[in-house]
Structure 1
Amino acid sequence: MNRETAMAGLTADDIASVWRIPKGTIYRYAHQYQWRRYTETGRAYYHPADVTATLDQLIKEER
């Protein structure tokens, strides 16, 4: 992976701050909903489309 590709993904910290959910929940969702991910220099990056699809759906279900 090159630096540009790594910047396209979301870290657990990114997701936690944007959606205001605990990082433990993020890891659970990533496993449960099989988010695509890759690692770069020891950090996991999640595919933004997987993250937003899951979280948008969960928000809709809450309403």
Structure 2
Amino acid sequence: MKHQAVSAGLTAADIASIWRIPKGTVYRYAHLHQWRRYKQIGRVYYHPHDVTTTLDQMHSA
């Protein structure tokens, strides 16, 4: 059986913890800002560049 390594994506829980925002807000931002995402072994991962670009802009304003 082959196993693929998990890429350096971020889960909603990761994002909520790092930026200290509710998971519901993570999902809303992902939708509004069209974050790239992929599924692996039943989990959704968001592209780190999309996440940091959005959240760094919002938190630096």
**Do both share a fold (TM > 0.5)?**
yes
Determine the C-alpha separation between the residues in 2 that align with 1:56 and 1:17.
15
Query: Structure 1, unaligned stretches of length 5 or more?
Result: none
The answer to which structure has the higher helix fraction is: 1
Report the secondary structure of 1:45's partner residue.
strand
Q: Does 1:29 align with 2:29?
A: yes
Corresponding position of 1:39: 39
Larger radius of gyration: 2
Report the secondary structure of 2:21's partner residue.
coil
Corresponding position of 1:16: 16
- Please report how far the alpha carbon of residue 7 of structure 1 lies from its aligned counterpart in structure 2 after TM superposition: 3.5
Determine the C-alpha separation between the residues in 1 that align with 2:21 and 2:55.
10
Determine the C-alpha separation between the residues in 1 that align with 2:39 and 2:31.
15
Determine the C-alpha separation between the residues in 2 that align with 1:52 and 1:22.
16
RMSD over aligned Cα atoms: 0.9
TM-score by length of 1: 0.86
Count, aligned residues: 58
Query: Structure 2, unaligned stretches of length 5 or more?
Result: none
Letter in 1 for 2:41: T
- Please report how far the alpha carbon of residue 36 of structure 1 lies from its aligned counterpart in structure 2 after TM superposition: 0.3
